[in-house]
């Protein structure tokens, strides 16, 4: 960072403030003042910090648009994100038919082929179609996908999901489930259907299947993250990702304090700057930052042997 030119800047702007506060007497900034300001303001190279950490984006998406996934890879390149765990959930409010989820998964498969070194694909399904869902799991995992991404068609704690969860216990893979936004407002956001999963649903299913791994989606995605972390405190097999557009200054610190650093994943959900920015700005040790950016999620991938080396 260039040396501070406080005298010049203040003479044009803030200098008048200190002058007025001192009772109208103009105070010349001394060389000693400048040296003091330089001493206390550390040079901070944010891009060096960004690039110092390996990163797996645990919550990423590909879209049915011409610029995707190239635009996601462009953001990842800028921010040193090595791998993106990409899925394509079905449209909100859709019927969630097999045709829909197969089309979504095919899009992910194409993205994986386009960027084989960068994209880890994650399938989606709808347990209301049990036969087709199990066939789709076999197809997608066979094609190299890892884990499962679910949206808001069926609550994570519904019995319809039990066979799917048991399948993923056998596969030793994590299940990422969307979470309803707006809990603090008592009623959930109008865009959320009645079947959207809420923290209590995760608590219930995690207790029923303690050997399963669940990923509670996007703490920064518009949900009440304090409520969520508080509810999930005693559910050790529920991990959280800090993806989303709401880079509230307290999210990462609160998640680590409530759940322990080992249960927190870095993620963006297409809000790349916020995803990286609020992890870097949090009050973490370097080891904790490494865990959140990379190691925690890679540890999950390692269980199925599909980790990043």
Partner 1 sequence: MLVDINAYTGHWPFSRRKNNTCRSRLERMNRFGVNLAVVSNLNGVFYKNPQSANEELWEELKSEKGFRDRFIPFAVINPLYGGWRNSFEESTGKMGMKGIRLYPQYHGYDLMHPSCVELVKRARDKEIPVALSLRMVDSRPSSWMDLSIGKEWALKDVVPIIREVPDGKFLIVNIANSTQLSEDEITLFKKANLLMDTSGRNIFNLGELLLTFGSDKFAFGTHAPILDDLTGLLRIEALLATEADESTRELLRSGNARRMLAH
Positions that interact with partner 1 (CB under 8 A):
1-2, 4-6, 9-10, 12-14, 16-21, 33, 37, 40-44, 46-47, 50, 78-79, 181-186, 189, 222-226, 245-250, 253, 271, 273-274, 276-278, 280-282
Smallest separation (angstroms) from partner 1 to the CB of 52: 14
Smallest separation (angstroms) from partner 1 to the CB of 126: 25
Smallest separation (angstroms) from partner 1 to the CB of 33: 7
Q: Which of 77, 101, 80 is nearest to 150 (CA)?
A: 101
User: Of the two residues 45 and 166, which places its CB atom closer to partner 1 in the complex?
Assistant: 45
User: Of the two residues 45 and 287, which places its CB atom closer to partner 1 in the complex?
Assistant: 45
The sign of the dihedral angle between the CA atoms of 254, 260, 261, 267 is negative
User: Of the two residues 103 and 281, which places its CB atom closer to partner 1 in the complex?
Assistant: 281
Smallest separation (angstroms) from partner 1 to the CB of 173: 29
CB atoms within 10 A of CB 20: 11
Alpha carbon distances (Å) from 38 to 6, 65, 106, 292 = 9, 48, 55, 32
Smallest separation (angstroms) from partner 1 to the CB of 49: 9
Q: Which of 127, 29, 115, 18 is nearest to 72 (CA)?
A: 115
Angle 193-222-248 from CA coordinates, rounded to 5°: 170
Can you read off the two tokens belonging to residue 232?
């999930």
User: Of the two residues 249 and 308, which places its CB atom closer to partner 1 in the complex?
Assistant: 249
User: Of the two residues 131 and 185, which places its CB atom closer to partner 1 in the complex?
Assistant: 185
Q: Specify whether the CB–CB gap between 217 and 178 falls below 8 A.
A: yes
72 phi/psi in degrees, rounded to 5? -65, -40
């Amino acid at each position: 960072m260039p040396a501070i030119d406080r005298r010049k800047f203040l003479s044009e702007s803030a200098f008048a403030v200190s002058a007025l506060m001192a009772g109208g007497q103009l105070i010349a900034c001394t060389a000693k003042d400048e040296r003091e300001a330089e001493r206390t303001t550390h040079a901070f190279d944010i891009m060096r910090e960004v690039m110092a950490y390996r990163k797996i984006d645990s919550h990423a998406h590909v879209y049915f648009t011409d610029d995707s996934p190239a635009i996601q890879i462009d953001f990842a390149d800028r921010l040193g994100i090595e791998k993106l765990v990409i899925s394509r959930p079905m449209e909100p409010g859709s019927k969630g038919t097999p045709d829909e989820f197969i089309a979504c998964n095919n899009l992910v498969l194409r993205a994986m082929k386009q960027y084989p070194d960068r994209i880890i694909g994650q399938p989606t399904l709808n347990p209301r179609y049990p036969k087709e869902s199990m066939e789709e799991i076999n197809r997608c995992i066979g094609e190299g996908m890892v884990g499962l991404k679910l949206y808001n068609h069926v609550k994570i704690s519904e019995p319809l999901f039990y066979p799917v969860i048991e399948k993923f216990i056998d596969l030793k893979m994590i299940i990422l489930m969307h979470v309803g936004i707006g809990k603090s407002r008592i009623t959930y956001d109008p865009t959320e259907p009645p079947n959207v999963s809420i923290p209590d649903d995760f608590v219930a299913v995690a207790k029923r299947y303690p050997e399963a791994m669940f990923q509670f989606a996007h703490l920064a995605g518009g949900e009440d993250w304090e409520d969520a972390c508080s509810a999930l405190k005693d559910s050790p097999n529920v991990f959280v990702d800090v993806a989303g557009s709401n880079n509230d200054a307290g999210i990462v610190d609160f998640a680590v304090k409530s759940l322990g650093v080992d249960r927190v994943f870095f993620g963006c959900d297409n809000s790349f700057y916020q995803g990286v920015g609020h992890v870097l700005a949090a009050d973490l040790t370097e080891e904790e930052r490494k865990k959140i950016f990379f190691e925690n999620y890679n540890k999950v991938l390692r269980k199925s042997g599909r980790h990043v080396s």
